[in-house]
Amino acid sequence: MITYQELLKSGENELVSSNISDAELDAWYLLEYLTGMSRAKFFLDRDMEVSDEIKDRYLSLIHMRKEHIPLQHITGTQEFMGFDFFVNENVLVPRQDTECLVENVLPFAHGKKILDMCTGSGCIIISLKKLEETAECTGADISKKALEVAQKNAASNEAEVYFKESDMFEKINGKYDIIVSNPPYIKKDVIKKLSKDVQNEPIIALDGGKDGLVFYKKIVNEAIDYLKLGGYLCLEIGYDQKKDVMDLIKENLQYINTYSKKDLYDNDRIVVTKVGG
Ligand code: GLN
C-alpha cells in the first residue's frame, strides 16, 4: 500500500531524476490536477491509502512530465492576467512576460478597435477585452488549431472576440486603432539551446527566423496599412531586441513617438510606436 504523501514523494523523486527544475511544485500540481485535492485536504489525508487507479494515473502524468511535456500542456491550463486559459500542444503557454504587453496597452485601449496579430491561445486579446471597454476585438493567426484554442478561451471567459485565420495580414481588412503582437521572435539557432520543455511547444510560435526578426519586419512594414492615423503598434520583444526592432521602426518614416518599456525583471520587453502624419 502507498499513501498520498508517499505517492507525492515518489512523483517528486521521479521528476528530480529527470532533471525537471520545479520537481517538487510540478509533482504537487499534477496530484492536485488529478485528485482535485486542495493543499489543506492533502495535509489532512496524506496518510490515507491511494487506490491503484489513482496511483497508476498519477504515475502516467509524472511520466509525461519526465518527457518534458510542459506542465500546462498536461493540465491543460495556464492563468494569465487573472483569467484561466486552456492550452494544448498547438499553442504557446501564456507567459508572465506577456502580461507586460497587456498592462501597457490597457491605458489607451478604451473604445479602441484592436487587432492581435499571432494570437495563439488568444490570451492577449481576450484579456484586453475583459479588462477594458474596447470596441471590436480581433485575433489573427496562421494556425487553425491555435484558433480553435483561442475560440474556446473566448467562450470560457465570455469575451466577445472575433478570430481570423490569416497568414499575417493576408486576410485582414479595414483599419484598427491598435495592433498588438507577441510574434515568434527566437533566433532559429537559439531554439535548440532552450530547455526541453520549451522545445516541446509549437515551433511555429517560437521561430523568428535566422535573426529572430522575420515577423517584426513584416508587422512593422505592413501594419501601417491597417492602422488609422494616430493608431498604435504595440510589440512584445525579446530582452535583447530593443535596438533591432526600434531600427526597423525608424526605417518607416510614418511612425512617430516610439518608446520601449521594461518588464518586472528589468528586461526590455515591449516597443510601442504610433502612426503620425
Ligand atoms: N500571442 C500569443 C501569446 O502571447 C502567442 C505568441 C506566439 O505564438 N508567438 O501567448
pLDDT digits (tens, 9 = 90+) for 195-219: 899 999 999 999 999 999 999 999 9
140 Ramachandran zone, left/alpha/beta (phi>0; psi -120 to 50) = beta
Q: For residue 124, give the C-alpha cell.
A: 492577449
Q: What's the pLDDT band for 246 if we cut at 50, 70, 90?
A: very high
Single pTM value for the model: 0.94
> What's the one-letter identity of residue 19?
N
Question: What is the model's pLDDT at position 47?
Answer: 96
* Run of H or E residues at 139: strand 137-141
Alpha carbon of 47 to those of 8, 40, 41, 62: distances in Å?
11, 13, 11, 20
* 232 has a pLDDT exceeding 90: yes
> Is the Cβ atom of 90 under 6 angstroms away from ligand 1?
no
Question: What is the model's pLDDT at position 1?
Answer: 87
* 277 has a pLDDT exceeding 70: no
22 contact partners, CB below 8 Å, separation of at least 6: 71
Q: What is the pLDDT of residues 76-100, one digit of tens each?
A: 999 999 999 999 999 999 999 999 9
DSSP 194-230: S-HHHHTS-GGGTB--TTS-HHHHHHHHHHGGGEEEE
90 contact partners, CB below 8 Å, separation of at least 6: 143, 145, 146, 148, 149, 202
The per-residue pLDDT of the chain, averaged, comes to 96
Torsional sign, CA 22, 23, 26, 28: negative
25 contact partners, CB below 8 Å, separation of at least 6: none
Can you tell me the mean pLDDT for 21-44? 96
Question: What is the model's pLDDT at position 54?
Answer: 97
Q: What is the pLDDT of residues 35-52, one digit of tens each?
A: 999 999 999 999 999 999
> Is the Cβ atom of 182 under 6 angstroms away from ligand 1?
yes
> Is the Cβ atom of 212 under 6 angstroms away from ligand 1?
no
Q: What's the pLDDT band for 228 if we cut at 50, 70, 90?
A: very high
**Atom 1, ligand 1: residue with shortest CA distance:** 119
**Residue from 81, 95, 121 to probe ligand 1 pocket by mutation (most atoms less than 8 Å from CB):** 121
